[in-house]
Structure 1
Amino acid sequence: MSQPAEVDADDLRYADPDNPYLTEPDADFAPVEDLDADAAAEQADLLRAAIREHDHRYYARNDPLIADRTYDALFARLEELEDAFDLDAGDSPTRRVAGGTLEELGEVEHAAPMLSIDQSGDAADVREFDERVRRELARGGDGESAEVVGEDADVSYSCEPKFDGLSVEVVYEDGRYVQAATRGDGRVGDDVTEQVRTIRSVPERLAGDPPETLAVRGEVFIPRDAFQAHNRERIEAGKEPFANPRNAAAGTLRQLDIDAVAERPLDCFFYDVLGWETAGGSDGPERPDDHLAELDALRSFGLHVNDRAELAADIEAAIDYRDRLAGEREDLNYEIDGVVIKVNDRAAREELGTKSRSYRWAFAYKFPARHEVTTVEDIVVQVGRTGRLTPVALLDPVDVGGVTVSRATLHNPDEIESLGVGVGDEVRVKRAGDVIPQVAEVVESHSDRPYEFPDQCPACGSDVERDGPLAFCPNGLACPAQAERAVVHYASRGGLDIEGLGEESVEQLREAGLVETLPDLYRLPDRREELAELEGWGETSADNLIAEVEASTEPELADFLAALGIHEVGAATARNLARHFGTFEAVRAASEAELAEVDDIGETVARTVRDFFEAEQNARVIDDLLEYVDPQPDDTETGDALDGLTFVFTGSLSTARSVAQDLVEAHGANATSSVSGNTDYLVVGDSPGTSKREDAEANDVPELDEAAFSDLLAEHGIEWPPEDEG
């Protein structure tokens, strides 16, 4: 759980949007002794709901909301509460393995449960694990291992890196690859047989003399160098880079498009035996008696086994192994976040058994998070929807304020020169406003010279234009990177809300040659058969998309202007333009001075709008688009009950904010997007942003909650919410 994500109330499955443990949770908990039973039960319920949501986002969707260590803190707190107050909840996340299957993939029952491993970053917890192992083995009684291992006897451990990837089960029968599945809920996982088959390090046929049936557990990952190279390709193609190698591997493995999986640089280490069966129970090789011997056997069968596994004579040697590997971590070409310490003797493992969600014979000793200083692995240039070129530093993942950061903005060419940053430099990273990662300074330079900003757009090759410290691609909607992002925005809720055209589907349509620019959307009816033949589509999906596209041919003017993706023209500004000029032709022909007369549009935005329409490349695309689309003139009749008032809205209202903005404007008020000295009221809904409230305080602008807003409207004879929105 690495990069934080935006959370939409409609997108939640297990928790309410106001759950305090969803995004940026405060993990600095008061001692349990300070809580009474009711408070503990309430906190535990919130934690269970939040952890279920985090599990769903992490395992099923690969879209984490919080950092790994924050999740660990929430989980540990829930365990602490349940133990201290005897809070028995049979379906608690602490009682089972996180995860679940996806409906799109078949389900596979595992040969043996794929459980979790208890973990900590504290050496005292590792030593306590060792004491518990000795104590439990001494109590074994009838167990064969109890005769060999006693409370005072030595216990040896196998030690291995703890890989940061996606756990899978792979099954071989008669030495041939037959099945692969994700961990899922630990007993049933997603069938990813064909996806894993594309991984070159997973053999189709085993070597040597394997058992008749062999089920092995492995970790699918993307090597660090391959991850950086793949992210570079995505950024230069105008796509969002992956947050970290783990998310990239997990998302790839659940792709239904096998060709797309094969293109990604996946690898796999195998590290455990889940099932070993020989013909008739006797013929074939016997299963080794200890774990390290099992790893040697897996190597002999041709499976990819990591070469860092070692035997530790006791727990102190295991702790030394972890400390040694921590010092070598940066030299490895795969991500690890600690080491796994396992009882080496298999009979002793069987004696120890399992808990409901984890093994009693294994423990993960985690590394401390990387903090702030890291290495710039590469610098690439990202092409934004409006043509702005932004240099992005691809980093060796580092912890910044509890969030794992693997990329950071360098803002613009002047910033690169000011920092003097180049590939290979050690840099300090910070999160601007606790949100956007950025490079703060070069700690130690290892590059010959600062990164040289390109003269051509990486997406289309057009000569780069400079506007002060900023760089732009002037090719507008004709630039492939800008065009693809323009199509995504055009179809989004902020545009014409064309259902079925998200980022992934637009990318698929572009790669198939069906949609290069906006007008191509309206040519899809003529290419229905090609659309229906795409992976994951079919006739019904094709017909649904075509119907959605055809329904967008007569959009409201304000919606059409917002959908074009003009820089600085969001929904509110688009409404103001539509109501001021009335028709698209009038907006398109308006001079910079005429545009500047519109409410909430200053000289800068007016110049941006004028430049957009004057760009030759944009003009050609728009002319083509207007062959299919007829923006409807704005004939909004406005009253004057709120004449002269200016409103700004923040947060969520009981009805969509756009309805509130439309309503006040229909009665003569202005609805602007930012607070200034000219603002009369800031209307504050649920989960408001902080910047508008701070601006309101600075400008002495009164705040209204929704009830006060409703009362104000009622004083002017206006109903809230509108009757047809009730």
Structure 2
Amino acid sequence: MSRADSVDEDNPYLRDPPTDFDPVEELSADEAREQVALLREAIREHDRRYYVETDPIIADRTYDALFARLQELEDAFDLTHPDSPTRSVGGEPIEEFETVEHVAPMLSIDQSGEEADVREFADRVRREVGDVRYVCEPKFDGVSMAFVYEDGSLERAVTRGDGREGDDVTQNARTIGSVPQKLHGDSPDFLAVRGEVYMPKDAFQEHNRERIERGEEPFANPRNATAGTIRQLDPSIVAERPLEVFFFDVLEASDLEDSHREELERFPEWGLRVTDQVETAASIDDAIDYRDRMLEARDDLNYEIDGTVIKVDDRDAREELGRTARHDRYAFAYKFPARAEVTPIVDVAVQIGRTGRVTPVALLEPVDVGGVTVSRASLHNPEEIAEKNVDVGDTVRVQRAGDVIPYVAEVVEKGAENDPESHYELPDHCPVCDSAIERDGPMAFCTGGLACDAQLRRSIEYYASDDGLDLEGLGEKSVRQLVDAGLLESVADLYELDGENLTALEGWGEKSAENLLSEIEDTRNPPLADFLSALGIPHVGPTTARELAREFARFETVRETAETEPERLEGVDDVGETVAGQIHDFFTSEANAAAVDDVLAHVSPTESELESGGDELEGLTFVFTGSLEGVTRSEAQETVEAHGANATGSVSGNTDYLVVGENPGQTKRDDAGDNDVPIVDEDEFRELLAERGIDLE
């Protein structure tokens, strides 16, 4: 039995729709319901024409106006519904995904990159069911999912999982524009289809560019981006990311076609999007030829494929061939060889570091480099780009420095449309804050300072790092979350955080919020050396900060000297002309000066003489976590260092003692256990010092 759900051509919102609507308050409930029904019907048809037919009949702005009107009416008259197109904007976050059983097994496909294995597959098919026709399709490199429709409405969407059961990600799937909430035409009453969710290559590169420019870690490749997105617990995040889907197989249906090709031909009638790269092959030779042609065409497609899939077309023959415990025996994947080292540059993103340094990053067609898929590579700096004559569109060779960091080694072939002598030029202004980008020798820097969001995020991370004030409860992920939530717009905002705002965020409980606030409170009177290091002044790490503190004793003295007599800084150990210039530039920047003043409204650095007290602790290494009584953690570190010991921020096999105070971090304790490092509390630490004649007070 089938069902029909075709759009009414008299629907006023289908062709040349009006976008001037009566005020909501002038509508009755019945009028609102009627308008909502017409808008939903029309918007679904517009979605089908846009995503499936790629032949829209209205402009994007007109579509947006219809969509906004539907949202307005649903909100005003409480007319929300799971099938509504407005569900594509996301819903409430969920706590976890429910595991559900598939209506039919989602098995894997037997595969090989060798032609002999493909021919062996065809020989087996011929022996068991005779000569057959094949359907050839691209092998999408995305995330496979099952979509179940009942009475034409999307009931659930489930990840492949182990093939027998997967995660119910229906709320996330509803946000993908090419996933119809309701089927069109004469669709089966029950239909379970298999689809591949993916991120288009151009959208992936743009999304990665945005992440890089926001100071976030980019995704390694489109598949990772898709997998990471579809498993987000917040559907609104999924809605913001550019996912699409191709449907390519029927898992179960109340009405089945006789052949796979016939099924694929019906999909668009129902609103299910299919690739236009499907072909029928009369023989295995034709199927192999199809694979070879797709290998040549893969770079021209706007989605990643890693081979082709050869399927027996006839459904009765499929059933006769059956399946193994792991894969269906009617299909075979003919894999492509991995791209090796040579690949084109699709785009260049600009990454802004903590100090404002601008690093150009090449966004690549994903390529295999030493067994690792690489989609981005460092271009280092403008001078190196010019030397190598690198530009967008060029084909380049990618290598990995120390088998870790990918970089562009050389240009193999200039882009067809590029001037042979042309190379990529950095923008004149920062893509994050629009401040001017200035050259400094071979490097380039954003002049926005802490007013630049990218520098801000990294500055907060550094302020809280081991080389800063060692806020163990505030790492990269937490900083990003707090900045994105609007709770941190400056380093100084750390001191305005409160428990209520923290516990309102995902992943924050009362205990973790209390621990972080306690750690922050302990940094209100930091030793001068720690504070100087935490500010993230270029080339001023913990060692140089200690020398500056020893020389000038007070923060204001350091600041005034840097502003008015920077040459005096050159007399400090570890500070030469270049570093002195960097310190001067930092403190004379208006943006930095304002940011430092904001922090000083909450923080009073203490004077610290850092004089040596002897070598009683020589050869020992201490790590501290949690709050101590009577002294700050930084003062305890200074004490042990003044007596010959090392004080580091992280536990390793070289650590002799982990000193644990109140509200300690779990990470350091776990690391101590892993490295067999003795853990001592504050009383035991004081006793250890007293035995050597050292007073902690």
Q: CA deviation at 1:378?
A: 1.6
Of 310, 313, 317, which residue of structure 2 is paired with 1:341? Answer: 310
1:376 aligns to 2:345 (yes or no)? yes
- Classify the secondary structure of the residue corresponding to 2:359: strand
Maintained 8 Å contact 2:343/2:365: yes
1:401 aligns to 2:370 (yes or no)? yes
1:487 aligns to 2:477 (yes or no)? no
Cα pair distance change 1:289/1:596, threshold 3 Å: farther
Of 460, 474, 477, which residue of structure 1 is paired with 2:450? Answer: 477
1:235 aligns to 2:212 (yes or no)? yes
Which residue is equivalent to 1:620?
594
Calculate the aligned-residue CA RMSD, in Å. Answer: 4.0
Maintained 8 Å contact 2:622/2:646: no
Of 410, 414, 425, which residue of structure 2 is paired with 1:444? Answer: 414
Structure 1 counterpart of 2:414, which letter?
E
**Cα deviation code 1:118-151 (max 9, x no counterpart):** 322222232333345556x4xxxxxxxxxxx1xx
Which residue is equivalent to 2:359?
390
Structure 2 counterpart of 1:444, which letter?
K
Which residue is equivalent to 1:125?
117
- Classify the secondary structure of the residue corresponding to 2:329: coil
Q: CA deviation at 1:381?
A: 1.9
Separation in structure 2 between the aligned mates of residue 335 and residue 175 of structure 1, nearest angstrom: 30
Maintained 8 Å contact 1:385/1:483: yes
Separation in structure 2 between the aligned mates of residue 640 and residue 547 of structure 1, nearest angstrom: 32
Stretches of structure 2 that go unaligned for 5 or more consecutive residues are 1-93, 626-632, 656-674, 677-687, 693-697
Q: With structure 1 as the length reference, what TM-score do the two structures score?
A: 0.67
Separation in structure 2 between the aligned mates of residue 595 and residue 116 of structure 1, nearest angstrom: 66
**Cα deviation code 1:61-102 (max 9, x no counterpart):** xxxxxxxxxxxxxxxxxxxxxxxxxxxxxxxxxxxxxxxxx9
Structure 1 counterpart of 2:400, which letter?
R
Which residue is equivalent to 1:245?
222
Between structure 1 and structure 2, the one with the greater Rg is 2
1:360 aligns to 2:329 (yes or no)? yes
Q: CA deviation at 1:554?
A: 4.3
Cα pair distance change 1:580/1:114, threshold 3 Å: farther
Which residue is equivalent to 2:102?
110
Q: CA deviation at 1:194?
A: 1.4
* 190-199 vs 503-512, greater mean Cα deviation: 503-512
Structure 2 counterpart of 1:613, which letter?
F
Separation in structure 2 between the aligned mates of residue 317 and residue 103 of structure 1, nearest angstrom: 49
Q: CA deviation at 1:192?
A: 1.6
Separation in structure 1 between the aligned mates of residue 516 and residue 547 of structure 2, nearest angstrom: 30
Q: CA deviation at 1:407?
A: 1.8
1:457 aligns to 2:430 (yes or no)? yes
Q: CA deviation at 1:322?
A: 1.0
1:466 aligns to 2:439 (yes or no)? yes
Separation in structure 2 between the aligned mates of residue 671 and residue 590 of structure 1, nearest angstrom: 29
- How many residues are treated as equivalent by the alignment? 551
Q: CA deviation at 1:202?
A: 0.6
Q: CA deviation at 1:258?
A: 2.4
Maintained 8 Å contact 2:623/2:648: no
Structure 1 counterpart of 2:452, which letter?
C
Separation in structure 2 between the aligned mates of residue 598 and residue 294 of structure 1, nearest angstrom: 78
Separation in structure 1 between the aligned mates of residue 147 and residue 118 of structure 2, nearest angstrom: 30
Q: With structure 2 as the length reference, what TM-score do the two structures score?
A: 0.69
Stretches of structure 1 that go unaligned for 5 or more consecutive residues are 1-101, 138-148, 279-285, 674-682, 687-705, 708-717
Separation in structure 2 between the aligned mates of residue 108 and residue 205 of structure 1, nearest angstrom: 22
Q: CA deviation at 1:508?
A: 4.3
Structure 2 counterpart of 1:517, which letter?
S
Q: CA deviation at 1:475?
A: 2.2
* 200-209 vs 512-521, greater mean Cα deviation: 512-521
Separation in structure 1 between the aligned mates of residue 156 and residue 352 of structure 2, nearest angstrom: 41
Which residue is equivalent to 2:384?
415
Cα pair distance change 1:196/1:311, threshold 3 Å: same
**Cα deviation code 1:594-622 (max 9, x no counterpart):** 65666666554454345433433222211
Alignment of 1:315-330 (within 5 A): 315-330=284-299
- Classify the secondary structure of the residue corresponding to 1:225: helix
Cα pair distance change 1:640/1:549, threshold 3 Å: closer
Maintained 8 Å contact 1:572/1:671: no
Alignment of 1:189-204 (within 5 A): 189-204=166-181
Separation in structure 1 between the aligned mates of residue 390 and residue 553 of structure 2, nearest angstrom: 49
Structure 1 counterpart of 2:147, which letter?
V
**Cα deviation code 1:3-33 (max 9, x no counterpart):** xxxxxxxxxxxxxxxxxxxxxxxxxxxxxxx
Q: CA deviation at 1:531?
A: 5.5
- Classify the secondary structure of the residue corresponding to 2:187: coil
Separation in structure 2 between the aligned mates of residue 132 and residue 642 of structure 1, nearest angstrom: 79
Which residue is equivalent to 1:264?
241
Which residue is equivalent to 1:60?
none
Separation in structure 2 between the aligned mates of residue 579 and residue 186 of structure 1, nearest angstrom: 65
Maintained 8 Å contact 2:215/2:351: yes
Separation in structure 2 between the aligned mates of residue 667 and residue 612 of structure 1, nearest angstrom: 33
Q: CA deviation at 1:309?
A: 2.0
Which residue is equivalent to 2:200?
223
Maintained 8 Å contact 2:502/2:508: yes
1:163 aligns to 2:135 (yes or no)? no
Of 381, 388, 394, which residue of structure 2 is paired with 1:425? Answer: 394
Maintained 8 Å contact 2:623/2:647: no
Separation in structure 2 between the aligned mates of residue 258 and residue 684 of structure 1, nearest angstrom: 43
Cα pair distance change 1:597/1:228, threshold 3 Å: same
1:523 aligns to 2:500 (yes or no)? no
**Cα deviation code 1:186-244 (max 9, x no counterpart):** 33322221111111111111012222221211111111111222222333333333222
- Classify the secondary structure of the residue corresponding to 2:186: coil
Separation in structure 2 between the aligned mates of residue 672 and residue 655 of structure 1, nearest angstrom: 5
* 181-190 vs 191-200, greater mean Cα deviation: 181-190
Cα pair distance change 1:501/1:214, threshold 3 Å: farther
Structure 2 counterpart of 1:475, which letter?
G
Maintained 8 Å contact 1:664/1:670: yes
Maintained 8 Å contact 1:573/1:672: no
Q: CA deviation at 1:472?
A: 0.9
Structure 2 counterpart of 1:621, which letter?
A
Separation in structure 2 between the aligned mates of residue 635 and residue 115 of structure 1, nearest angstrom: 69
Separation in structure 2 between the aligned mates of residue 266 and residue 367 of structure 1, nearest angstrom: 24
Structure 2 counterpart of 1:491, which letter?
A
Separation in structure 1 between the aligned mates of residue 436 and residue 111 of structure 2, nearest angstrom: 53
Separation in structure 2 between the aligned mates of residue 545 and residue 105 of structure 1, nearest angstrom: 29
Cα pair distance change 1:574/1:256, threshold 3 Å: farther
Q: CA deviation at 1:334?
A: 0.6
Cα pair distance change 1:345/1:598, threshold 3 Å: farther
Maintained 8 Å contact 1:121/1:368: yes
Which residue is equivalent to 1:434?
403
Cα pair distance change 1:323/1:654, threshold 3 Å: farther
Cα pair distance change 1:189/1:600, threshold 3 Å: farther
Separation in structure 2 between the aligned mates of residue 115 and residue 501 of structure 1, nearest angstrom: 43
Alignment of 1:529-548 (within 5 A): 546=517
Which residue is equivalent to 2:23?
none
Separation in structure 2 between the aligned mates of residue 291 and residue 493 of structure 1, nearest angstrom: 60
Cα pair distance change 1:477/1:296, threshold 3 Å: same
